[in-house]
Each structure stands twice: as C-alpha cells, then as structure tokens.
Structure 1
Amino acid sequence: MALMATRTKLFRLLTTLTTKAPILGSGSCSNGVKGPVRVDRGGGLGLTAYSTSAVAQQEPGVVGSRHMGLEILGVKDYEDYRRSLYGEITHKALLVDAVGTLVVPSQPMAQIYRKIGEKYGVEYSEAEILNRYRRAYEQPWGRSRLRYVNDGRPFWQYIVSSSTGCSDSQYFEELYNYYTTNKAWHLCDPDAEKVFQALRKAGVKVAVVSNFDTRLRPLLQALNCEHWFDAVAVSAEVEAEKPNPTIFLKACELLGVKPEDAVHVGDDRRNDIWGARDAGCDAWLWGSDVHSFKEVAQRVGVQV
C-alpha cells in the first residue's frame, strides 16, 4: 500500500511538471521572446555560437515550478519511479537532436562564410557576418514559420546574401555543399557509436529528430553514422519544426513506440525539452541533465 501511495504521489507530481509548458508552435526564431535568443541551429550553412537564458525568462513560473519539482523528486527517485512502472529499461526509445548534440560544426560559421567568400568579393569581417547572420535568422521567413522546406535553398540563399552582402550563385552553392560534408561537422561524443549499438542490442530504438533540411541524410552518411539509427525525423520532411510536438510524434510513429515510452535528448531548452514534453515524451537537456551518451544509456538502464 505504501508503494502504491508513493507511485500515486509521484505520478501526480510528474504529470503536473511535464504538462505546464505550452505548445509553442513551429520552430521560427521570431517568437516574441524579449532579449537575444539563440537561433535554432538546425540545418545548415553554419550556426551562431551564442546562447542566453532569455527563453527561461519568458515563463519563469513554468520553468521554476518544474525545476523545483524535480529537485523535490530527485533524479534517483524519478528513475526509480520509471523502473517501478517499466522495469530496468526505463524507455523503449531514445530520440536524439542533431546539431549541438549529435554533431557540431568543425569551424565557426562566420569564419567559413568569410574564408570561402573572399574569392567572391566578400569584405565583411567575421564579427560583421555573425551579427548580420543573427539579424537575418531572427526575422520572420515569408508567410510560413517553416524555414527548412525540402532542400532549404531559398531560405539559405536569403541568409547567405543577408550575412555577407554577396548574392553570387556560385558562392552560395559552394557554401551550401560544404555543409553536407564531413569537413564541416564532427561528432560531439566519440563514444556515440558504441553507446547506440549497446542501446539497440538492449532493445531500445534510436532516432534522430532534427530541425534540418533534406541534407541531413547525406550528412549522416558522410559521417558514416546513418546506420546507427532506426529512424530519422527531419523537419523539412515532416513539415514541422521543433518545438512543434508533431515532429516528436512522427519520430515515435516511425519507431513504433508511444511518446511516454521515449526520451528525447537535445541541447535547446525550448525546442528540445519543452517540445518533447509537449508531445508526451520524457526529455533531458544535453550539457545539463546529461553530458555524454554513455550517461544517457546508464539513465535508461543500459550499461555500456
């Protein structure tokens, strides 16, 4: 009876904590958040290298109540709660963010824009390129909140020309193709392959969930890691960008699991954590809740 009462209390607390975050819609950066925000690093032609707590400031009551509740509950208590319901393996599926979690750029975006652009007449400094990139990225994109449609070319052409002042088509194509190669990106965690193999051997399905254009699949092939995953949910194909819960639900559908049986790991609190929880998934913040894929596997209940 005591165990049942504890489970009931834990369930009520967890339900309260994980259902307060609002469904924030698609992944546009022009979301009304005051102050500087990190742009979504999803697809492409580089990313900005800055982040702030502006999103947390947007709804301090929601973030604070969840944080306070998790402190009361405790990580170990929560994991024990999951195991009391599901057994030693706490989740049937792992969803993984791409940029910033699975892969990271090998060089700063502005450096590459400047380096490749020199032969096309780009004269802006790296600092100027970065500032112009940020401003362009944060603007509403046409009538749609979807930036990455199909190959994302129209969006990225706008970003490149706005960032550098250069509209040369050859320059754009060289940049665009560069970010599909293993020169542009590298894996965040060198133990990723070993961990994903152990997870799948234990029966845990694994999928990538990313705001990216259709270059994500050839990029995963270039990095020789596409075979690590049972499914890939790309915003350009799903036609929904994180934090829209649709993309997480699609990933769960592709894996054949219920959202409550999946945990998503990503480095963006708004897009990854709030979005996944809105879909009904569990979620851990990369670099805060977990720091390596080995740690992710251990929390799921798989020893590597």
Structure 2
Amino acid sequence: MATRITNLSRLLTTLLHETPPFPSGSSSHGVIGKIRADPFGRSGSFSHYSSATAVAVPKESDGVMGSRRVGLEILGVLKDYEEYRRSLYGEITHKALLVDAVGTLVVPSQPMAQIYREIGEKYGVEYSEVEILNRYRRAYGQPWGRSRLRYVDDGRPFWQYIVSSSTGCSDSQYFEELYNYYTTEKAWHLCDPDAEKVFKALRKAGVKLAVVSNFDTRLRPVLRALNCDHWFDAVAVSAEVEAEKPNPTIFLKACELLGVKPEDAVHVGDDRRNDVWGARDAGCDAWLWGSDVPVFQGGCSKDRCPGLRKRSI
C-alpha cells in the first residue's frame, strides 16, 4: 500500500531542490514574460502583470544557493498557517495535491496580443498589440451579462465577445481560427518541462493529484496535447462544475472526485484571491505558486523563474 505523505510541504521542497536549475535559454529571446492567461489568450489579472511585461533572465550566480535560501523562506512563510491548521486538524497530513492549470502548470507560448494580431492580419485587424491588449483589458473587466459564469461549456459566446471587442473584428472565420489555435500544443507549454518527475514521485508516494481550473471545456484537449493529462487522477473544470474559483464549490468537487476530505488536500495556484483564498474557504490548505512554492523544478526560486505567473486563449 502506498505510504501516506506527512507534511507535503517538506516533500515538495525536497523534490523541488533535487532536480537541475531552470535553463536560462528556455524562454524566447532571453526573456520570460510575466503573464496571467485565460483559456482564450487572456493576459490578465492586470493589476499585477500583463503579457507585455518581461524581465531579464537572472545570472547563473543566482542559482542553487538562491534556491536554498528561498526554500528556508518558504518554510518560514508556511509556519504560521501550518500552526493554525494544526489547531483545527491536529498534525498536518496531505493526501491530495490540487494544482491550478494556466499560470501554474501551463502557460501560453506567445503573448495573447501578438497572436490576436498575427492571426487577425489576414482578416483586416489593424490594431497594434498595445491597442489589442488595452481593449482586451477593458472588455474582460466588464460584467458578463449572459451568465453568472464566463466559461459555460466551450465558452464560445464569451470569447466571441472578447475577441471582437479586443480587435474590432467580428469575422466568424477569424474567431474560429483563433479559438482552435488555443486548443493545440502550439499555443501552450509546461511551466516546467521536468514537472513530470515531481508528479510521478508524489503519486508513487500515495498522493492523489487533480487539476482545478477556471477554464472552458478545451482544458482536457489541451492537457492531452501537452501529454500531461495522465499525471492526474481528476480534473475539475469550472465550465463542467458550473462554479469558478474562488467559489469553494470547485475545490470541494475536486476533493470529491479524489475521494479525500478538503482538510486533507493542499492547493497550489498563482492567484491569491482565486487559488489561496478560494481553497481555504473550502477547507483546503493552500500555497501561493511563485511564493510559498517556488516552482515544481528544483534549484528554481521565485526570483530565478519570475515568469511563472498566471492566466491566455
């Protein structure tokens, strides 16, 4: 019988620091964009990051020693919350790991505005990438009046509104080409190409794994295209669950699918409101990606892999 994991934070920290550092040449043009992406090319919670933001790759001197320092900081950050959870549930044990999809597990391969413009040129789109990004932000920030949920089924009505508002183009062929592009492996890549080693180690140790994501029904094809769907025991998609993070319902559904109690699960995601607060409202433990957990790859701290932030189409 698989062994039960006690204090998953220590296991993750150990695993994260045993694999090679994140390769500095893995990002395009020597930079890593700080992007937060949605299933249709969105780059936003815009109060913090946008796809237009980029930072230089850190020097090699920021490597292993920096990751060890951050590892110690992580344990300190978690200490107070772990003590609080011990007061509620006793000694901390985690039987399940829930993982956010876009921005934590996967990221868009190109900035949203760039793809909108490049594909849109043959359909008459004339806006610059900056104009598209600004119009996108305004459109996405407006209430979606047709439903309390943005992502219903395949999300087409919502994304048609976003694309036409962002580009000024309502051509159905343009929309379909753009929409379908974000269902392919060309549009996405894994945040950490070596993440599979960590997930396999966790499953071997008896930890159940699930993806919890605000996404439409294209998430499953995306995970299959990236050949990572088999890493997980369950997938909770907002379009299927009919609840979007930070609504605790989606986290509770993930726990139900895994057959664990919420207090036995920890969720890792990059959005403090949607991932951390939402998961904790459901009774789960929660760690912030890029802060409490640096990355799924060892030797890679928040400062060394600064582009791993959230949410695209």
Match of 1:243 in 2: 246
**Aligned counterparts of 2:36 and 2:196: Cα–Cα separation in 1:** 25
Unaligned 5+ segments in structure 1 are: 1-37, 54-69, 296-304
Match of 1:145 in 2: 148
The answer to whether the aligner puts 1:183 opposite 2:186 as a matched pair is yes
Return the match for 1:265 from 244, 254, 268.
268
Match of 1:113 in 2: 116
Return the match for 1:75 from 74, 78, 81.
78
Please report how far the alpha carbon of residue 43 of structure 1 lies from its aligned counterpart in structure 2 after TM superposition. Answer: 1.9
The answer to whether the aligner puts 1:167 opposite 2:164 as a matched pair is no
Match of 1:60 in 2: none
Please report how far the alpha carbon of residue 189 of structure 1 lies from its aligned counterpart in structure 2 after TM superposition. Answer: 1.4
**Aligned counterparts of 1:155 and 1:219: Cα–Cα separation in 2:** 19
Secondary structure at the counterpart of residue 208 of structure 1 = strand
Q: Please identify, of 41-50 and 164-173, the stretch whose mean Cα deviation from structure 2 is larger.
A: 41-50
Amino acid at match of 1:187: L
Percent identity over the alignment?
A: 85
Q: Per-residue displacement from partner, 1:55-80 (whole Å, max 9, x unpaired)?
A: xxxxxxxxxxxxxxx99x86357658
**Aligned counterparts of 2:111 and 2:36: Cα–Cα separation in 1:** 15
Please report how far the alpha carbon of residue 88 of structure 1 lies from its aligned counterpart in structure 2 after TM superposition. Answer: 9.4
Match of 2:44 in 1: 48
Please report how far the alpha carbon of residue 109 of structure 1 lies from its aligned counterpart in structure 2 after TM superposition. Answer: 0.2
Please report how far the alpha carbon of residue 135 of structure 1 lies from its aligned counterpart in structure 2 after TM superposition. Answer: 0.6
The answer to whether the aligner puts 1:282 opposite 2:285 as a matched pair is yes
The answer to whether the aligner puts 1:209 opposite 2:212 as a matched pair is yes
Q: Per-residue displacement from partner, 1:216-249 (whole Å, max 9, x unpaired)?
A: 0000000000000000000000000000000000
Secondary structure at the counterpart of residue 132 of structure 1 = helix
Match of 2:237 in 1: 234
**Aligned counterparts of 2:281 and 2:80: Cα–Cα separation in 1:** 22
Please report how far the alpha carbon of residue 192 of structure 1 lies from its aligned counterpart in structure 2 after TM superposition. Answer: 1.1
Bigger proportion of residues as helix: 1
Question: Quick one: structure 1 residues 189 and 88, their matched pair in 2 at CA, closer, same or farther if it must change by over 3 Å?
Answer: farther
**Aligned counterparts of 1:49 and 1:210: Cα–Cα separation in 2:** 15
Unaligned 5+ segments in structure 2 are: 1-33, 50-72, 299-313
Contact 2:46 2:137 in 1 (8 A): no
Match of 2:96 in 1: 93
Amino acid at match of 2:181: Y
Question: Quick one: structure 1 residues 81 and 269, their matched pair in 2 at CA, closer, same or farther if it must change by over 3 Å?
Answer: closer
Secondary structure at the counterpart of residue 239 of structure 2 = helix
Amino acid at match of 2:44: T
Contact 1:39 1:138 in 2 (8 A): no
Aligned residues: 242
Structure of higher RCO (CA pairs closer than 8 Å, 6+ residues apart): 2
Question: Quick one: structure 1 residues 275 and 88, their matched pair in 2 at CA, closer, same or farther if it must change by over 3 Å?
Answer: closer
RMSD: 2.9
**Aligned counterparts of 2:131 and 2:87: Cα–Cα separation in 1:** 54
Query: What is the TM-score with the length of structure 1 in the denominator?
Result: 0.73
**Aligned counterparts of 1:241 and 1:78: Cα–Cα separation in 2:** 25
